[in-house]
Amino acid sequence: MDLWDAVPNAWQTPLVHIRPQIEAIGRRLDEYEIDGITINPSRQQIFAALQISPQDVRVVILGQDPYPNAAHAMGLSFSVPAGTQPLPPSLRNVMAELTADVGECSVTQGSLEPWIDQGVLLLNRVLTVEAGQSDSHKAFGWQDVTEAILRTVIEVNPDVVAVLWGKQAQETRGLFNPVFVIESVHPSPLSAYRGFLGSRPFSAVNRLLSRQEKAKIQW
C-alpha cells in the first residue's frame, strides 16, 4: 500500500506539496517491514487523526509519537482502543487531569474518539514508531508532514486552539495564534508532576472557545 493512499481525500489537495516526503517515508517503512521490524500503528491507521476534515478542526491536541505497544497505538494522540486495560501511563495521567479538571467525562474507556466529532484533531508530531522503541522515528521527516497538516488547519481556522504537551509539540507553537495556545510538560510519568497535573487544560480550552463564541467541547 502506497502511504500516500492512506491520506484521507479531504487532506490530499492541501498536502499534495508534501506528497514526495510522505512517499519517501512510506518506502523507508517498507524496508523496515521487509526486515521483520514491526511499525506502529498499522499502515491503515497512520493517518487516522485526519478522519476529521481540516475545516472542522477547532482544537488540536498535539503529542509526541505513537505508543510503542501495538495494542495501544491507533493513530490518535494519547488515545487507545476502547476497553484497553491497563491504560498506558501517559493516558492514565491525562485521564486523572481530565477528571480533576472537569469531573465526569465521555472517554472513560480510554478511547478519545468521542472528541473527534466535536472538532478535536488528535495528532502526534511523529506518526510512526518501531514497536517497543519510543521516539525511534524522530529522524524520518514526519515533522515536515505534521507541520504541513497544522498549517492546513490554521489556514482554514487561524484561531484554532492548540494544546501542546511536551517539547516536541511545543516546537510548533510559533505556527499558532499565541492567544490560543495552551502548553505544559508531557503527561508521561517522567514529567507529569512537573507541571502537567494541575494545569487544567480542558477547562482552559473551553474558556478559549467561549471567547470565540464557539461551542465547548464535551470532554
> Which tens digit of pLDDT belongs to each residue from 139-186?
999 999 999 999 999 999 999 999 999 999 999 999 999 999 999 999
Of residues 56, 65, 101, 117, which has the active-site annotation? 65
Is residue 65 part of the annotated active site? The answer reads yes
> Which tens digit of pLDDT belongs to each residue from 64-115?
999 999 999 999 999 999 999 999 999 999 999 999 999 988 898 899 999 9
Domains contained in the chain, CATH given? 3-211 (3.40.470.10)
The secondary structure of the chain as a DSSP string is --GGGGS-HHHHHHHGGGHHHHHHHHHHHHHHHHTT--EES-GGGTTGGGGS-GGG--EEEEESS--SSTTT--SSTT---TT-SSPPHHHHHHHHHHHHHHSS-S-TTS--GGGGGGTEEEEESS--EETTBTTTTTTSSHHHHHHHHHHHHHHH-TT-EEEEESHHHHTTGGGS-GGGEEEES-SSTTTGGGTTTT--HHHHHHHHHHHTT-PPP--
